[in-house]
Amino acid sequence: MKIESLASAAKAAATRLAAVASDKKNQILEAIAQSLQENEDAIVAANAADLSAAEADALAAPLLKRLKFDAGKLAGVVDGIRSLITLPDPVGETLTATELDNELKLYKVSCPIGVIGVIFESRPDALVQISTLCLKSGNAVLLKGGSEAANTNRILARVIAEASEAAGAPAGWLQLLETRAEVGEMLKLDDTIDLIVPRGSNAFVKYIMDNSNIAVLGHADGICHVYIDADADSDMAVRIAVDSKCQYVAVCNAAETLLVHEAVAQDVLPKLVSAMAESNVELIGCPATAAIIDVQEATEEDWKTEYLDYTLSVKVVPSLGNAIEHINTYGSGHTDVIVTANAESARTFMELVDSGNVFWNCSTRFSDGFRYGLGAEVGISTNKIHARGPVGLEGLIIYKWKMIGKGQTVAPYADGEKSFTHRQLDTTFDL
């Protein structure tokens, strides 16, 4: 089927999905969860085929880890679906209510965006998370995953589509794309697709923006930083740095650069070497770092690099201000952390670092829709319009203005015979 047909089917489904009641959507989500469990053996077998092919192609170890979708990963996404069920429906919420005049009321009410195209990396769990978030928020979705996960994505999309449609979801709300050519065709469909969410490098996101008239919610590089301040507890700092880098290296919220205040560098860096060696992390650093520990010299390009691997660049900085300047120069606006006992330093850092997620004394790895309680995420936006940070349910809705009157016309207000009250109301939209 041509992409135009898939997108048209999704658009028709989106119109119907927008009107599905909350209880019904939750029933559909539970049906999906149950069907995924029932098809565990087939799903794991499909993933094993993808893993075998990827290993034969010498795919890097961190990327293989992303690709793996075993029984444990399946159990995790099923738990995520059931957590999503417990969240309030974001659709149909009255955001504001205003009396314009007697018996003339205006409501701002949340509604689905419509049809969303998501291009994501070789993480099969992302397919489940994205599709179920779209369903809960009333959106149809076109999905394009990495080619390495083709078999896994295919069976997951089929199980989700069949289970959801059998439970009452409109046919065609989920569509799976499988080739780059199809992505190119999708980018032309601004009459049927409302939003594109590309998950990938800055260059990839820019390519999507430059080649489509569809609105783009950019999920770019995760060049995340941990800054160890002069007033940091060194043991806490190393523990946070190790978790930020090593807990899962092949993800966008893993730390790629460590900044250390010169006042504590002599204490922190030797401890860091020992801790990172346990995870086989290669450290590269600036000349000041190399004067304290044995590291290869970092280049200008290293500060701009998302490694997604067991490599960490380290820089010794003379001040908090210098750390902030480095992050705002080289970071991607994703997630940045300060480790310090000084609340004023933390406040300054969190106000001045220009990122969607800024943390004090905790790992970058907390930057995640599920951990935020958002019901997983379609991505982490580094945009500053519409949604920023982990994009969960609230990032997949927009709003419409609904007005209820009793025959009013504009002329009396334009002529000065009547005036607006513009009184805020404590009420919800209801016909």
Same domain, yes or no: 289 and 329: yes
- Output the CA torsion sign for 10, 16, 22, 27: negative
Q: What is the DSSP string of 386-411?
A: S--EEE-GGGGEEEEEEEE-SS--SH
Same domain, yes or no: 183 and 255: no
pLDDT on residue 219: 63
Residue 406 forms part of a structural domain: no
**pLDDT tens digit string along 326-335?**
999 999 899 9
| Residue 56, domain CATH | 3.40.605.10
**pLDDT tens digit string along 371-424?**
888 767 787 787 777 778 888 888 899 999 999 999 999 999 999 999 999 999
Q: First-to-last CA distance in the chain? A: 41
Q: How confident is the model at residue 105 (pLDDT cuts 50, 70, 90)?
A: very high
Same domain, yes or no: 271 and 156: no
Cβ partners under 8 Å of residue 254, min gap 6: 222, 224, 244, 245, 247, 248, 308, 364, 365
CB atoms within 10 A of CB 55: 12
Looking at residues 227-240, what average pLDDT do you find? 96
Mean pLDDT for the chain?
93
* Residue 237 scores a pLDDT above 90: yes
Same domain, yes or no: 193 and 287: no
Looking at residues 182-210, what average pLDDT do you find? 88
pLDDT on residue 407: 92
Point out the least confidently predicted range of 55-59, 105-109, 205-209, 251-255. Answer: 205-209
More confident position, 63 or 317: 317
Residue 414 forms part of a structural domain: no
| Residue 267, domain CATH | 3.40.309.10
For the record, the structure tokens of 175 come out as 């569509």
**Segments in 247-335 forming alpha helices (H):** 265-277, 287-290, 320-330
Spatial contact of 246 and 309, defined as CB atoms under 8 Å apart: no
Give the E-state strand segments of 61-103 in sequence order: 94-101
pLDDT on residue 46: 97
pLDDT on residue 228: 98
Report the percentage of the chain scoring pLDDT > 90: 80
CB atoms within 10 A of CB 101: 17
Place of tokens 């047909």: 5
* Residue 247 scores a pLDDT above 90: yes
- Angstrom distances, CA of residue 161 to CA of 8, 33, 43, 170: 16, 12, 14, 10
Residue 239 forms part of a structural domain: yes
Q: How confident is the model at residue 364 (pLDDT cuts 50, 70, 90)?
A: very high
Residue 170 forms part of a structural domain: yes
Looking only at Cα atoms, what is the longest distance across the chain?
81
* Residue 185 scores a pLDDT above 70: yes
> How far apart are the C-alpha atoms of 353 and 234, rounded to whole Å?
22
Residue 289 has, within 13 A of its CA and on its CB side, a CA count of 24
* Residue 2 scores a pLDDT above 90: no
Q: How confident is the model at residue 286 (pLDDT cuts 50, 70, 90)?
A: very high
Q: Whole-prediction pTM value?
A: 0.81
pLDDT on residue 370: 80
CB atoms within 10 A of CB 296: 13
Which helix H or strand E contains 70, and what residues bound it? none
> How far apart are the C-alpha atoms of 138 and 16, rounded to whole Å?
9
Point out the least confidently predicted range of 32-36, 61-65, 253-257, 337-341. Answer: 61-65
Same domain, yes or no: 146 and 228: no
**pLDDT tens digit string along 18-28?**
999 999 999 99
| Domain range for 241 | 224-366
Looking at residues 41-68, what average pLDDT do you find? 91
For the record, the structure tokens of 372 come out as 């935020």
**Count of domains for the chain:** 2
Looking at residues 77-97, what average pLDDT do you find? 95
* Residue 29 scores a pLDDT above 70: yes
* Residue 1 scores a pLDDT above 60: no
Residue 178 has, within 13 A of its CA and on its CB side, a CA count of 10
Q: Radius of gyration of the chain from Cα atoms?
A: 24
The separation between CA 324 and the C-alpha centre of its own chain, rounded to angstroms, equals: 24
Same domain, yes or no: 353 and 294: yes
Looking at residues 173-201, what average pLDDT do you find? 92
Point out the least confidently predicted range of 99-103, 172-176, 201-205, 390-394. Answer: 201-205
Same domain, yes or no: 108 and 255: no
Same domain, yes or no: 251 and 276: yes
**pLDDT tens digit string along 110-121?**
999 999 999 988
Residue 428 forms part of a structural domain: no
Residue 332 forms part of a structural domain: yes
Same domain, yes or no: 230 and 319: yes
The helix/strand/coil state of 64 is helix
Same domain, yes or no: 134 and 156: yes
Spatial contact of 403 and 109, defined as CB atoms under 8 Å apart: no
Same domain, yes or no: 207 and 275: no
Residue 344 forms part of a structural domain: yes
Dihedral, 324, 330, 336, 337 alpha carbons, nearest 10: -50
> How far apart are the C-alpha atoms of 318 and 233, rounded to whole Å?
18
Looking at residues 310-319, what average pLDDT do you find? 97
Which helix H or strand E contains 174, and what residues bound it? strand 174-177
Same domain, yes or no: 176 and 119: yes
* Residue 235 scores a pLDDT above 80: yes
The helix/strand/coil state of 89 is coil
pLDDT on residue 144: 95
Looking at residues 135-143, what average pLDDT do you find? 97
**pLDDT tens digit string along 140-153?**
999 999 899 999 99
Residue 409 forms part of a structural domain: no
Q: What is the DSSP string of 210-253?
A: HT-SSEE--B----EEEEE-TT--HHHHHHHHHHHHHS-TTSTT
